[in-house]
Amino acid sequence: MKNFTLSKAVFLFPFLLWWVPIIGPFFTGLLLSYHFKTNYRLSIISSIAYSVFLSAITTYVFYVVRITILGYPFYYFVLAFNVIGSITCIATAYMSSRHGTFARMMRNTIELEFTVNDMNEIDEILSQYLDVSLCSKPNIRFISEDQIEIKRSCNNLQINYEVIKMGRALRVKAKFENLRNY
């Protein structure tokens, strides 16, 4: 069990979850969006791949097993639940990756990942965690055409965030560091 990590669980749990109609695909979409965080393109691609693969497996199993008591109408229910489950999985993965905020806390730092449409939305999201009006003006460093790094000081916090352009959206990775040593 020492070698069993969360990333392996993310790719193995959908095989178990998919068998529960609608709820299983919902949690599969959440797991995939958690794994890929704000990279919603990879989240969508992986949820499509999982949906197609797992729907094919469940459809095949129920076709081969052919539960004779329930007959063919049951098989059509399986097909319908696979279609609804696939749509649920893909929509959940997209919505969670595209509109969610992922946070990780460590000893003296907090890391956030989120996606915004423009630069003004960054301050709106950061203002949920601190008073942005008390922060220094942003110190912007251009890394490439699609990537910038911004540093700000807010009282005893140093905020570093990286903004990456992904199509029309901006992917932000913010890191709050406490300058006081406790």
The model's pLDDT over 152-181, given as tens digits with 9 standing for 90+, comes to 888 778 889 899 988 888 888 988 887 665
For 93, residues 6+ apart whose C-beta sits below 8 A from its C-beta are 29, 30, 32, 33, 40, 43, 44, 46, 47
Give the tens place of pLDDT for each residue, 91-148: 999 888 888 888 888 888 888 888 888 888 888 888 887 887 888 888 889 988 889 9
**Quick one: pLDDT at residue 68?**
57
Is 60 exceeded by the pLDDT of residue 3? Answer: no
The yes-or-no verdict on residue 9 having pLDDT over 70 is no
Section 24-30 average pLDDT: 89
pLDDT at residue number 16: 79
Distances (CA, A) of 100 to 37, 46, 93, 95: 8, 17, 10, 7
Residue with tokens 């529960």: 20
The predicted structure's pLDDT at residue 70: 60
Half-sphere exposure of 59 (CA within 13 A, CB side): 14
Say how far apart CA 153 and CA 71 lie, in whole Å: 67
**Cα distance between residue 33 and residue 43, in whole Å:** 5
- CATH assignment, 100-176: 3.30.160
Q: Write down the pLDDT at residue 10.
A: 66
The answer for residues whose C-beta is within 8 angstroms of residue 168's C-beta and 6 or more apart is 117
Whether residue 1 is predicted with pLDDT greater than 50 in this model: the reply is no
Cα(36)–Cα(101) distance, integer angstroms? 12
Q: Using CA atoms, how far apart are residues 37 and 103, in angstroms rounded to an integer?
A: 10
Strand partners for 162: 149, 173
